[in-house]
Every structure is written in structure tokens, then in C-alpha cells.
Amino acid sequence: MATQNDNEEKFQTSRLQRIDNEIRSASYPNSEELALKLEVTSRTILRDIEFLRLYYDAPIEYDAQKRGFYYTDPTFYLKDILFTDDEFKNITVYYEFLSMGNNDEFRKGLRKVFNKIFAAIPEEKLENLPFTPSEKYPYDFLFGPTIVINGDILYKLKSAISENQVIEMDYWVSSNKKISPYTIEPLYTYSVTDIYYLLALESGQNDKPKIFSINRIMNVRTTDNHFEVPPGLRIHDYFKKEAGHVSTDKKIYTFELSFPKEVSGEAINRTYHFNETIELREDGTLFVSFRTTQLYDVFSWVLKQGHKVKVLNPPELVSLIKREAQKIASYYL
């Protein structure tokens, strides 16, 4: 839900663009005229003009004879996208992230989007952005095995979902290690721990949707046929149950975790859940407790932590961890 601040920023952005258009039209508008057109007070207009001067170096002056504002540089124009200082910082952080790691289709596509955003930022602002030049501070790609998704395939899937369009696809079936053709009615895409899934009905079989791993889809072909989603089909309930990534019985578990002394200083700076309880104990260990239904999500996270965290509760999670540890140990016997 949008906050009051979000709405105020949205209204201001619209006003700034309209003010820019009025001034560039060389009609010498004054604050009263602008206030009347934009349905705000003259004081608000004056604040907006000062904002343009301060943050976008807009060369706005007031002509006493013509009783209105004008640009001293007629070639100046306000870029379509306006950002606050904090938004500038966020942009650079995310762009830096996109420049690291695996060079998959998503990162390539997102970098193109960010480059278009940068094209809409005044050049003088770009000079002050905290980029890390790779030629000055070279880094190696971070190790992190991942599943690469073809961006074109994902786009076709989402388009077909929005249009209720039947599609054909070539799918690699892990059980027989063969690529097989499917005609499907795509319903929903979602991701869990960086793995993307598709919930779909096989064409002509409207009773039971199936889950496909999107990374195993080799090709997608659109058709001229459309379908109707079966009435009463609850997509979210179904894919959660079928994928097995969250609790299927909607049971709320109380999770209790213990972080050893050597990592408690780092662990205490993290937020684990919105309803968490954190306690730094006398022996230096950190105790964290929270309640949620997401048993398998917590299970996946705990596995990534290795020896850095010990599960105390619930018993279901302890059992899952023990079984997984035994499987891993069997590889090294």
C-alpha cells in the first residue's frame, strides 16, 4: 500500500514536469499562474522551483518586466525521470550488484534497463555517483553456482499467462533424461531460493496442474488457442503444496536457533523475522526465536549456514537437518 510520502513524491514529480513544460514554452509563467493551473499554492510552486534549481541545476530566473520565470539556457530541459539523492545511491548499489556474479539473461536484461535509466539522469548527477570502476578496482566473479534462466523464455511464459494463451514447449524430463514436447496452459510463475517454476495444466487435462522447472524448458512456441482457468482453482494453495517449499498444513512453527559465540557478533546484526526475539546469552551464544509456517524455507537457509547455527526447535526441522547431515556424511565415509 502506498504511503502518504510515496503519494506526495508522485504528485511532486508530476508538478515538476509540468512546471518544466510551462517554462520551456517561453510563456514566462509566474507562481500564481502555475499554482492556478496545477491546483496548489504559490508557496508550493516556489518550493518546487527551488528544488529544480538545487537538485537539477535548472537555470531558472525571474524576468521582472515580463513577470514570469524563464530558462537562461534555452537548451535546458528536465529529464523525464526524477530521483532523490537516496534513490541515486540505491541505483548505483543495484547496478554494481548486476555487474557481479553470473552473467545470465536476467542480469543482461536488467543492465539494459538501468542503462536507459542512466540516460535519463542529468550528466552532472552521473559524475557524482559512487561507481566502482572495474578497470581501477578489478574483481573476480563471485563463486555461487546458480541456475540460469533464459529471459526470452520467461517473457514468453508471462505473456502467455497474461493472455490465457496455450503454448507448446520442449521440456527436459529428468526421469528419462530426454527432451519431450508438451502442450500446456500456463497459470503462474514463481521462484524459491533462486529457482524458477511454472504452474501449468497440460492441455486437455484440467483436473490437476503440474509444476515445471523453467530452467528445463528448452523452447517455447505460441499458438492461436486460448484457455479458461478452471473455476475454483486456487493457484497459490496448489503450488505451495505441490512444490513442498512451505508447510502444506499451514501449521505455525516456533523456531528456536542458537548461534555459537564465534559468530554471535555477526549474527546479532541481522533480522530473521518480523516477530523475532533475540537474546545474547551469558556464554556468548545468541538465541533467536520466531514463529512462521515456512518450515522448508527455514530448512534451506539453515543448510546454507552450516556449523554457524544450531536448530533447537521445532523437532520437525531438527529431523530434516539430521537426515540431510547423514546423507552428506555418507559421501565421505
- Indicate whether 231 and 259 sit together in one domain: no
User: In terms of DSSP H, where are the helices of 252-314?
Assistant: 261-267, 295-305
Q: Is the pLDDT of residue 2 over 80?
A: no
Residue 222: domain span: 151-243
- Indicate whether 174 and 238 sit together in one domain: yes
- The conformation of residue 307, written as its DSSP 8-state character, comes to G
- Indicate whether 197 and 260 sit together in one domain: no
Return the sign of the alpha-carbon dihedral for residues 132, 137, 141, 144: negative
- At residue 54 the predicted structure's pLDDT band, cuts being 50, 70 and 90, is confident
∠ CA(247), CA(253), CA(256), 5° rounding? 130
- Indicate whether 29 and 49 sit together in one domain: yes
- Indicate whether 314 and 280 sit together in one domain: yes
Q: How many CB atoms lie within 10 A of CB 39?
A: 8
- Indicate whether 18 and 56 sit together in one domain: yes
248 contacts 241 by C-beta, under 8 angstroms? yes
- Is 136 part of any domain? yes
Nearest-angstrom CA–CA distance, 79 and 77: 6
Q: How many residues does the chain have?
A: 333
- Indicate whether 228 and 157 sit together in one domain: yes
- Is 248 part of any domain? no
- Indicate whether 173 and 202 sit together in one domain: yes
- Indicate whether 232 and 162 sit together in one domain: yes
How many Cα atoms occupy the beta-carbon half-sphere of 139 within 13 Å?
A: 12
Range ranked top by mean pLDDT from 20-24, 156-160, 241-245, 284-288: 284-288
Q: What is the pLDDT of residue 92?
A: 61
Nearest-angstrom CA–CA distance, 176 and 119: 49
Nearest-angstrom CA–CA distance, 221 and 167: 6
- Indicate whether 123 and 162 sit together in one domain: no
16 contacts 79 by C-beta, under 8 angstroms? no
Give per-residue pLDDT as tens, 103-160. 556 666 666 766 666 666 655 555 555 554 444 444 444 455 566 677 788 888 988 9
- Looking at the DSSP assignment, which residues form a beta bridge with residue 168? 183, 221
Residue 223 belongs to a domain with what CATH number?
Answer: 2.30.30
Cβ burial of 233 (10 Å; 0-12, 13-18, 19+) is middle
What average pLDDT does the segment 196-206 reach?
83
- Out of 71, 98, 120, a domain closes at 71
- Out of 146, 167, 199, a domain closes at 146
- Out of 21, 48, 71, a domain closes at 71
- Indicate whether 40 and 100 sit together in one domain: no
pTM of the predicted structure, to 2 decimals: 0.49
Find the helix or strand (DSSP H, E) in which 84 lies: none
3-state secondary structure of 208: coil
Q: What percentage of the chain carries pLDDT values higher than 70?
A: 68
- Is 269 part of any domain? yes
Nearest-angstrom CA–CA distance, 31 and 9: 20
Q: Is the pLDDT of residue 293 over 90?
A: no
Long-range contacts of 112-118 (CB under 8 A, 24+ apart): 117/81, 117/91, 118/91
What average pLDDT does the segment 53-59 reach?
82
Residue 24 belongs to a domain with what CATH number?
Answer: 1.10.10.10
How many Cα atoms occupy the beta-carbon half-sphere of 157 within 13 Å?
A: 26
3-state secondary structure of 177: coil
Return the sign of the alpha-carbon dihedral for residues 296, 301, 307, 310: negative
- Indicate whether 202 and 284 sit together in one domain: no
Q: Taking all residues of the chain, what is their mean pLDDT, rounded to a whole number?
A: 78
Q: What is the pLDDT of residue 230?
A: 80
CA R_g for the chain: 28
Q: What is the pLDDT of residue 1?
A: 46
Name the domain count of the chain: 4
- Is 315 part of any domain? yes
- Is 79 part of any domain? no
Give per-residue pLDDT as tens, 170-185. 999 878 888 999 999 9
- Is 76 part of any domain? no
Q: What is the pLDDT of residue 245?
A: 46
